[in-house]
Amino acid sequence: MNTVIIFALLVVLMLTGMPISISLGLTVLSFLFFLTQVPIESVALKLFTGIEKFEIMAIPFFILAGNFLTHGGVAKRMIRFATSMVGHFHGGLGLAGVLACALFAAVSGSSPATVVAIGSILLPAMVRAGFPNRFGAGVITTSGALGILIPPSIVMVMYSVSTNTSVGALFMAGVIPGIVLATMLGLLTWYRARSRDYPRQPRVSWVGRLKAFRDSFWGLLLIVIVMGGIYTGLFTPTEAAAMSAVWAFIAAVFIYRDLRLKDVPRVLLASANMSAMLLYIITNAMLFSFLMTHENIPQAMADGMLGTGVGLIGFLLIANVLLLAAGNFMEPSSIVLILAPILFPIAVKLGIDPVHFGILMVVNMEVGMCHPPVGLNLYVASGITRMGITELTIATWPWLLTMLVFLVLVTYWPPLSIWLPQQLGMVTAAR
Amino acid sequence: MLKVLDHLEEWLISFLMGAATLIIFAAVVHRYLSGFAIPGVQDWLLGLNLGWAQELCIIMFVWMAKFGAAYGVRTGIHVGVDVLINRMHEGRRAKFIVFGLLAGALFTGIVGTLGATFVWENGAHHAIFHALGVATDTPEGPTTPDLEAPTWIVYSAVPLGSYLMCFRFLQVTWGFVRTGELPHHDQGKVEGLDDDSVPPPPGEEDKIYRMDDELHPRDKGEPR
């Protein structure tokens, strides 16, 4: 009964359009105040301890790094490098878009940021080269979603915070699925471009490629800093995030000189603004999760779910549908913070690997970002291309369909995600 | 007066963001540098204890989160689910927006008060009365593990930040009722930075940053 009241309250408050963080907090306060004997002062303590974890602090650092990269000319050089490598194939610039998104995703933790960084430079170039607007928009909108699958990833940090899974293992687990998805999107792009005979770029000599690589080297070095640092144990994920923020600053201001020193405070302010919003949602989601644990909801739901005799396959299907449905109304961070504490105990009881389940959630979030009504990538791309949302949705569907196929693959074939962390000894062997 | 508050808020969160990054960077560099046997330097480095860096970083980010959330109200970055209310006609939608903003003010007000009580009872009472020379039998508050700073100072971010946020919600509500305008946040844009890409046609310069999505409440009278 309490479960129904809590969720009804949350949904009603959310539908009034108030910020998600506020509706989470108000649900907790009103439930505790009207329906329990819990002294409301106990909430006060939770307010302080909610975000006092060093792991969470990776989020502001990754956001800061991402902002330096977006405005510091790193994206531009990655696009040039990607074009020199794959530009001569059919649909060359489209393929370069996929590759550039994958590269940028490997240094940034957010999807909309990837779409902005790559799309705002590449999309106008594609139109000038003679590609239809729709084609480019479709490629970039969906490839941008790689931002949260290829590590580092802010959504993965969120998942790790709410389920106590290792961030390092999650990051490693994202590598192979990320490469697979990028390959799938690339193949589709190539196939469609070939059958429609879209323009190709002139082939670039190996000398030219080497030059493009050297030019983007300082940006690409971030991949080594983050992944190498975490893998070798030189840094914790949060330290790696701080190192990448400092490095992105040095690259943007001193090496590439695309960002002036006097612009730095504005980048700091924008990053602080975005980080504070996410941290505020986390604080309130922690309150909400405290309430759920207090009322024993995740446990009751897990028992209820297992009692119905739903097996592994059935549960994974339900989880996917639920996550995709939630993707219609909320942005990824909120979904992960609200749903992970509920779904996670069930998954664990069914013997699903926590890391595998995390990747599954992330891929679901990726799909949610690419379709209306609240796909952030879609809106960002719509802003860049000046296409309507409906037209853009039609433009993205072939790639979106590919992502759904990929989702099924990730869901029902765990080795795809957990093989690499297992090999690295970051996850114990499958039970 | 309000301008001063605005600038103070912006300055504080930018500073905390930058400083926390540098502190963690310094701590990591210190950890590895002190492993090298450089005569003189190594002893000096080993003498420095940066064990408090992690704690300080957390505290700075918690402060940044609380005050940044208040700044976020002013920039309209806190997103909600307004798929439903955006389908309503103007008058009713405006009522829901005001309701949402006032709910925000109510929540942050309550949280601020809870936080203030907590801070008061965990050392502020003792410390302030002590400083004023008033004799009380209140217990001294706890301190943080590494920095050994009184926790009530650290935690006062919650009442201060929440009351500021409450004030911002009321400010935005007042602005909306008077002018029908809401602050809008632009995803992925940094104020004042622009790329040298193709200039947009006249009148559409801000097109990229208009958020005609379902995530951001529209102004009164703005077409869907």
Find out whether A44 and B117 touch, Cβ atoms under 8 Å. Answer: yes
How many beta carbons lie within 10 A of that of residue A234, not counting itself? 15
SS3 for B80?
Answer: strand
Measure in Å the smallest separation between the Cα of B7 and chain A Cα atoms.
11
pLDDT at B199 over 60: no
Region of poorest pLDDT, from A14-18, B37-41, B104-108:
B37-41
Provide the residue type at A137 as one letter: A
- For B81, the closest of A14, A235, A279 (CB atoms) is A14
pTM: 0.87
Measure in Å the smallest separation between the Cα of B44 and chain A Cα atoms.
22
Provide the residue type at A36 as one letter: T
Q: Does residue B50 or residue A60 have the better pLDDT?
A: A60
Bridge partners (DSSP) listed for residue B80? A19
pLDDT at B206 over 60: no
B166, B190, B209, B212, best to mutate vs chain A, most A CBs in 10 Å = B190
Measure in Å the smallest separation between the Cα of A94 and chain B Cα atoms.
19
- For B78, the closest of A40, A259, A277 (CB atoms) is A277
Residue that has been written with the tokens 């300082």 in this structure:
A218
- For A19, the closest of B67, B80, B110 (CB atoms) is B80
Residue that has been written with the tokens 């796909």 in this structure:
A375
Provide the residue type at A85 as one letter: M
B17 and chain A in contact, CB less than 8 A = yes
pLDDT of residue B220: 62
Region of poorest pLDDT, from A126-140, A201-215, B149-163, B209-223:
B209-223
Chain A: residue nearest B114 by CA? A44
What are B84's two structure tokens?
Answer: 């439903």
Provide the greatest CA pair distance for chain A.
Answer: 74
- Chain A residues with CB under 8 Å of B99 CB are 16, 18
Residue B14 to residue A269, Cβ atoms within 8 A: yes
pLDDT of residue B218: 53
How many beta carbons lie within 10 A of that of residue A189, not counting itself? 30
Query: How many Å apart are CA A20 and CA B197, to the nearest integer?
Result: 35
- Chain B residues with CB under 8 Å of A53 CB are 58
Three-class HEC string of chain A: CHHHHHHHHHHHHHHCCCEHHHHHHHHHHHHHHHHCCCCCHHHHHHHHHCCCCCHHHHHHHHHHHHHHHHHCCHHHHHHHHHHHHHCCCCCHHHHHHHHHHHHHHCCCCCHHHHHHHHHHHHHHHHHHCCCCHHHHHHHHHHHHCHHHHCCCCHHHHHHHHHHCCCHHHHHHHHHHHHHHHHHHHHHHHHHHHHHHCCCCCCCCCHHHHHHHHHHHHHHHHHHHHHHHHHHHCCCCHHHHHHHHHHHHHHHHHHHCCCCCHHHHHHHHHHHHHHHHHHHHHHHHHHHHHHHHHHCCHHHHHHHHHHHCCCCHHHHHHHHHHHHHHHCCCCCHHHHHHHHHHHHHHHHHHCCCCHHHHHHHHHHHHHHHHCCCCCCHHHHHHHHHHCCCHHHHHHHHHHHHHHHHHHHHHHHHCCHHHHHHHHHCCCCCCCC
pLDDT of residue B208: 40
Residue B22 to residue A246, Cβ atoms within 8 A: yes
DSSP letter, residue B213: S
pLDDT band at B161 (very low <50, low <70, confident <90, very high): very high
- Chain A residues with CB under 8 Å of B82 CB are 17
Q: Taking phi first (over 0 means left), then psi (-120 to 50 degrees means alpha), and beta for anything else, what does residue A386 get?
A: left
B16 and chain A in contact, CB less than 8 A = yes
Find out whether B63 and B16 touch, Cβ atoms under 8 Å. Answer: yes
A79, A238, A269, best to mutate vs chain B, most B CBs in 10 Å = A269
Query: How many Å apart are CA A18 and CA A13, to the nearest integer?
Result: 7
pLDDT at B213 over 70: no
Q: What is the ipTM, given to two decimal places?
A: 0.85
pLDDT of residue B195: 43
Q: Does residue B99 or residue B44 have the better pLDDT?
A: B99
SS3 for B143?
Answer: strand
Chain B: residue nearest A66 by CA? B188
Q: What is the mean pLDDT of residues B17-35?
A: 90
pLDDT tens digits in sequence order for chain A, 431 residues long: 788 888 899 999 988 888 989 999 999 999 988 888 877 777 777 776 777 888 899 999 999 998 998 887 888 899 999 999 999 999 889 999 999 999 999 988 888 888 888 988 898 889 888 899 889 989 999 999 998 999 899 999 999 989 999 999 999 999 999 999 999 999 999 999 999 989 888 889 999 999 999 999 998 999 898 888 888 888 899 999 999 999 999 999 999 988 888 889 999 999 999 899 989 988 898 888 888 888 888 888 888 888 887 888 999 999 999 998 888 778 888 899 999 999 999 999 899 999 999 999 999 999 988 887 777 788 788 878 878 878 888 889 999 999 999 999 999 999 999 999 988 887 765 44
pLDDT band at B205 (very low <50, low <70, confident <90, very high): very low
Residue A274 to residue B77, Cβ atoms within 8 A: yes
What are A5's two structure tokens?
Answer: 């009241």
pLDDT of residue A27: 92
DSSP letter, residue B165: H
pLDDT of residue B132: 77
Q: First and final CA of chain A: distance in angstroms? A: 35
Measure in Å the smallest separation between the Cα of A193 and chain B Cα atoms.
25
- Chain B residues with CB under 8 Å of A61 CB are 21, 24
pLDDT at B90 over 60: yes
pLDDT of residue A83: 92
pLDDT of residue B32: 85
What are A193's two structure tokens?
Answer: 């471009």
pLDDT of residue A82: 94
Measure in Å the smallest separation between the Cα of A194 and chain B Cα atoms.
28
Please name which of B93, B220, B67 lies closest in space to residue A15, comparing C-alpha atoms.
B93
